[in-house]
Structure 1
Amino acid sequence: MIIRNLAALSTADIVECLLSAFSNYFVQLPQEVSYWEDRFTAARVDLSLSFGMFDGDKLVGFIINGIDHHNGKLTAFNSGTGVLPAYRGKAIVDQLYEHAVPLFEKRGVEKCMLEVIQENERALKVYKRIGFNISRSLTAWKGNLVSDSSVYQLKKVSFQEVLDKGLYRAGLYSWDNMAEAVLLSEDNKTTYLVSDKKGGLKGYFTIGANGMVAQIFAVEKKHLSEVVKSIAGVSPEVRFGNIPLERQDLIGDLQNLGFGNTVNQYEMEYHL
């Protein structure tokens, strides 16, 4: 077997291996290639720094990396790792990282990051063995909201307006929900400023067509629940992915509104 980067592969080829590798995963993954094309774009994936283990011409394991700055450091974010069932137990992920790290360093990458479901003990063991440490916990939620258009005003804006108004707080969001990701995925995400009926700005949220909220922020914490409730004006069925555990104000509001916790992940880092 040999390790090569994934630059010569199509997204469809990568997704075929990915879906086979995750066929018995903790959650059901989307099947559409278009979903993964959009996700890889938002994740800033660089296929020249993403690597696969090949058995002949067959892709049997992979690490897909997004490259961008995170907290001031050039970072390789693992947007997906998988190994086909028949090839597990061969330390393929260890080998892929052993191959990748010198190439990361050559490109100036200072740290690696990833997210892993907390119950995935096998993956946690592998990542810790490679050198990753848990940096924080991320939670996901799902629920329904009742619209009350008499209370809130929603104004559709470009995400750049959120940046211009100084509303964005990078530390509140995971890799796939950072400003850089939203700016690259505005074809399938929409940002709304939330105001009261007198025009007083309360905050904003960014949401996908599937009801997944990428970002939410209130100018004053006491108005956060109002901003959450305003989402019903766009989508009554709402999901939140990767909310850092330290956002207890938001988590508390979601619990009070009857949202259920769907999955929890660890964010992990490995400093080169």
Structure 2
Amino acid sequence: MKIKRLSQCTLEEALTAWNKGFEGYIVPIKMDLPAFVNRMISEGLSPEKSIVVFMNSEPCGIIMNGFRENNGRKIAWNGGTGIAPEFRGKGLSAAMIEEVFNIYRAEKAHTAVLEAIEENERAIKLYKKAGYVITDHLLYLNKKLTHIEPGFLKENHFSIKRLYPEQLQSLSIYDSKAAWQCQWQSAKHGEAAVLLSEDGNEEGYILYKRILEAGGRTERIIIYQLKFNNENNYEKMTESILGHLFLDGDDSIDFTAVNIAVSNPASKALLKLGFEKKIGQVMMEKPL
């Protein structure tokens, strides 16, 4: 076994390690080279701090890593651990994780975080053995909504203020501990809005990305974060903020909420609106 930093490998070797490493995975995530490079850029993954494992000179495993500052503390994110099927269950993963922990310590990271699909019991068991604990459960929710859904046309006393995603971090209620891919840094070409009460108080916010059809209508909205200040009124506020996202000419929009936490009352409001769970994940954390 030989472990190299991804920056020491060719992109083709790294891509081979990724695609081999996720063969037979619960969710298909095979990528071509442009998608692989785009993911590294969009998620802030570091080639210098990620590793590729070789067996008999062939790439067979990979762990992708990213680092961000959160309230003065450095967070290390495992953005994907994959091992080729023929090498699974042979102790390779433990050696890879230990190498990654050495990188995290050298970077003076304060906390290590990751997400794992809840059905992937083998991986979760491995991470727990390495010292990670489950801190929350995450939902991938979806529903196509029309503008005449119950609640959207009811009179409400909320308005919204548009923001750049970067401005969300100044809000007192901004969730800086949201899943890595749902933070404002990962919302490339995203939008943000704050929900305001009649007296101008900030009652909540949404971080999202709008995907338009060729004719200019909204085809899809990906919700990265949805959070409210007043948990007692979250159902009405959820209806209000989603209703405000309809543009003139939008009859229906396919909404997808990505990795919204079960502990977040907004997830319950979406489920009550009829959103369906497509995938569930666990959020895991380890102090360093």
* Paired AA for residue 211 in structure 1: I
State the distance in 1 between where 2:281 and 2:47 align: 25
* Paired AA for residue 24 in structure 1: G
* Paired AA for residue 206 in structure 1: L
How many residue pairs align between the two structures?
266
TM-score (norm 2): 0.78
State the distance in 2 between where 1:91 and 1:211 align: 41
Alignment identity in percent? 21
Runs of 4+ deviating beyond 6 Å:
149-155, 195-202
**Equivalent position of 1:228 in the other structure:** 242
Question: 210-219 vs 88-97, which deviates more?
Answer: 210-219
1:1-272 equivalence runs, <5 A: 1-11=1-11, 13-29=13-29, 31-70=31-70, 72-147=72-147, 157-163=163-169, 166=171, 169-171=174-176, 173-182=178-187, 185-186=188-189, 189-192=190-193, 203-208=204-209, 209=211, 211-218=221-228, 220-221=230-231, 222=233, 223-233=237-247, 236-247=253-264, 249-272=265-288
| Secondary structure of the corresponding residue to residue 7 of structure 2 | coil
Report the CA distance between 1:255 and its aligned residue.
Answer: 1.6
State the distance in 2 between where 1:107 and 1:17 align: 24
Report the CA distance between 1:238 and its aligned residue.
Answer: 0.9
* Paired AA for residue 85 in structure 1: P
8 Å Cα contact 2:18-2:82 kept in structure 1: yes
8 Å Cα contact 2:166-2:184 kept in structure 1: no
Report the CA distance between 1:48 and its aligned residue.
Answer: 1.4
Structure 1 residues 32 and 2 mapped into 2: Cα distance closer, same or farther (>3 Å)? closer
8 Å Cα contact 2:223-2:258 kept in structure 1: yes
* Paired AA for residue 205 in structure 1: I
8 Å Cα contact 1:145-1:232 kept in structure 2: no
Structure 1 residues 194 and 32 mapped into 2: Cα distance closer, same or farther (>3 Å)? farther
Report the CA distance between 1:59 and its aligned residue.
Answer: 1.5
* Paired AA for residue 269 in structure 1: E
| Secondary structure of the corresponding residue to residue 44 of structure 2 | coil
| Secondary structure of the corresponding residue to residue 59 of structure 1 | strand
State the distance in 1 between where 2:124 and 2:95 align: 16
Deviation string for 1:46-101 (max 9, x for gaps)?
12111121124422111100111346431221001101112212221210122232
- Output the aligned Cα RMSD: 3.1
State the distance in 1 between where 2:20 and 2:103 align: 27
Structure 1 residues 271 and 172 mapped into 2: Cα distance closer, same or farther (>3 Å)? closer
Greater helix fraction, Structure 1 or Structure 2: 1
Question: 35-44 vs 61-70, which deviates more?
Answer: 35-44
Structure 1 residues 216 and 93 mapped into 2: Cα distance closer, same or farther (>3 Å)? same
8 Å Cα contact 1:194-1:230 kept in structure 2: no
State the distance in 2 between where 1:201 and 1:112 align: 31
State the distance in 1 between where 2:207 and 2:184 align: 10
